[in-house]
Amino acid sequence: MQRLSGKVAIVTGASAGIGRATAKLFAAEGAKVVIAARREAELETLAAEIASEGGEAAFLAGDVQSEDYAKALVALAVSRFGRLDIAYNNAGTLGEMGPTSGVSEAGWSAALATNLTSAFLGAKHQIPEMAKHGGGSVIFTSTFVGYSFAFPGTAAYAASKAGLIGLTQALAAEYGPQGVRVNAILPGAVDTPMYRDMNDTAESQAFVTGLHALKRVARPEELARSVLYLASDDSSFVTGTASLVDGGASITRT
């Protein structure tokens, strides 16, 4: 049985990595998906791939920093598919990295806008639409960085992603009475373009791999499976959580 049959979902950051894998899995599980990111050509390719596998997808390119884009994605879900049940607000950026004494205010603000303010803007417009039909599931992609692990030179990224956990809890408390569940997923390292950009040497990849109890990094599809759990009715009593999917990084000290 398909686990998202009859559901409509928005997935941001769908042009690559975890978001792309999740959009494909959602569609394979019966959801109609609205896919979002800045690169239109990648979205078009993904929508065609989903259609060729028997699914349904609509796409709209834009920047998640924009409130108009957040509104437009919800409007597209409703105009094309009639409702909104699931929103995976996943788009993110590492932002300006390096010694914090050298990070510009613009770089700091840009990381917060893409990683944290975008989540607020998305939820602000998604939740009322979900509540119209008795509820739904909102999911954010936080990270183990700034939660169970700290790395030098990641202040803006860690702070913006940790902020998502507070947002998750506040929204879960506020909208639980309307049947809207809100959870954050906290991946360990996942083999995506973001991971490869940051770890472009064998030494760096060996270091990151060794941080995990499983001594490997995740495939995007493995994260997608965990997001599917939070999106589906399998997690119907789960809300307000910060859910580690980190290959045991949080319990590894060797």
Ligand X SMILES: NC(=O)c1ccc[n+]([C@@H]2O[C@H](COP(=O)([O-])OP(=O)(O)OC[C@H]3O[C@@H](n4cnc5c(N)ncnc54)[C@H](OP(=O)(O)O)[C@@H]3O)[C@@H](O)[C@H]2O)c1
Contacts with ligand X, residue ranges (CB under 6 A): 12-19, 37-39, 42, 63-65, 90-93, 114, 141, 143, 187, 189-190, 192-195
Q: Which is nearer to ligand X, 173 or 194 (CB)?
A: 194
Is 157 marked active-site?
yes
- As measured in angstroms, the least distance from the Cβ of 21 to ligand X is 8
Mention every residue, 6+ apart, whose C-beta is less than 8 A from residue 66. Answer: 121
Q: Which is nearer to ligand X, 114 or 232 (CB)?
A: 114
**Closer of 92 and 163 to ligand X (Cβ):** 92
Pick from 18, 129, 5, 14: which is nearest to 55 by CA?
Answer: 5
Query: N- to C-terminal Cα distance for the chain?
Result: 41
Q: How far is the CB of 81 from ligand X (least distance, A)?
A: 21
Q: Which two tokens stand for residue 105?
A: 């205010």
Rounded distance, CA 26 to CA 32, Å?
Answer: 8
Q: Cα 182 vs. chain centroid, distance in angstroms?
A: 12
Residues in the chain: 254
Q: Which residues contact 196 (CB under 8 A, 6 or more apart)?
A: none
- Which residue number, 101 or 201, has a Cβ lying nearer to ligand X? 201
Q: Which of 232, 238, 235, 226 is nearest to 22 (CA)?
A: 226
With contact defined as beta carbons under 8 Å apart, do 165 and 209 qualify? no
Indicate which residue of 69, 157, 175, 195 is catalytic: 157
Min. distance of Cβ 223 from ligand X in angstroms? 8
Q: How far is the CB of 197 from ligand X (least distance, A)?
A: 7
- Catalytic positions are 157
